[in-house]
Chains A and B, each alone.
Chain A
């Protein structure tokens, strides 16, 4: 018998049956915008640098980070991290401690001396006025693009509000100094004690464009009837004095800080450290309405700062302060109640906000200045005077270090385009990866790592940094809590769970492809993708 015993079928003969023709929908790989990236005022690719950090590739992570923000050591400490408020992991347990990983990367960079190279010389020259976060950030980005940069700083030191507004216990000066000197190492010249009054004259010196980022340093005041006023200071000058003065300001034993913003709390905590045994914050609204962040208040209260909500200072008589209690009316505004109380204090510090002294800009044709000195800019950060851009606290926006840093980047891109006679265009924003796109089941249970905190006794008397960094193990752990929202992290679920072997694995870092010859469009890959990096679309005709 030479016939086969049974019917035999050739191996892989099923390949002739292209089951892709069954499909009514097809899966496609997409990158959705992670909510952290979306929320970052500096436009950091947070998911992108966490992805590298997850593998322990800290230098790669840092290099991705500094493409958007030259000062991760500073931001990891002082940024109010809106990224974490947007983090999808909050719905599983708690947000990834993004700022703590950023700080770890920033500190690693300083420890290992990681540097970047300036871009090829463009032959263009930009003047920056103000060496605060916005100016420094703009300088960094302009140098990466190859432009020459000179920063003119009116003050005696670079750093702006990072130095004169944020106390040392939140931002140690070594970190600030080293991150600034890394920016200088790119070839940025900073001229200190150089106040600029005449911008057209500056442009005549050969600068192709000017970026003005002088911040908001002028303390807002209020009128309080005083028979015989005691010591009244403003928060900005107290903080500035602590930084520059040889002798710390004499505040006395009992200090009242008037205001409810972050500066008020920083000032109260500074007063405590300078020896004030009784430090009290007086604020006319309640806790929900205070502009300061909750953590600032909690840290302050832990250090023994008292807070009087719904209170205004009505009168001052030497060291006696007449406080009126307020109550909220139906619209939520504070109203006087007519109930008074007297408190004794040696010093009153006003922390009622700051304005900008932009009078030197008002002289320029086309520049519009609003009340409080806020300067109007268009969507390219340019003022009404061609070639003069502005950013940071002096333009309408949130007044934070991170927003200012973001302005610096945005201004640099626009200045670069403007000098070439072009207009900078932002890329298309992808759809945001919401929690509904996540398959949370797949993520391991991993409660957040807390950063160690300095003990209270030392916090009340020294300017040592209060919140400590994470060690490597914990930073790696935190990075690995990232859900990688909307961006493939190569978990192989699509590849493994396709019943039709229609996902092609391209290898590490290369991701996957669909084989539409055989994909039946069941949608299992999209349903089981943990991070929402696959979507189903209608099959094209």
Chain B
């Protein structure tokens, strides 16, 4: 898994790409998110548009991202979900946990109320 970090105003966008699976990407995502939260970032979008494959560990990392953010008084939203990731969130009912947006711009705008 790779990621790029963009700042859009006060919103941090983490663009993820590749596979998020056990031992390959799951820990990287966790570390990156903790780094951003410790910098005091409160509004975070995970752009999943280029994520090609995700397993239960990857889903677990999204959940951990959500709960870590909450603990820090921050919020994580998801954008650009591929059909497969969208299906995974639906099947596991995690779609009821996350705010998801068709595009990163929409996700960023949603923070502005």
A binds B: no
A contacts, CB < 8 Å to B: none
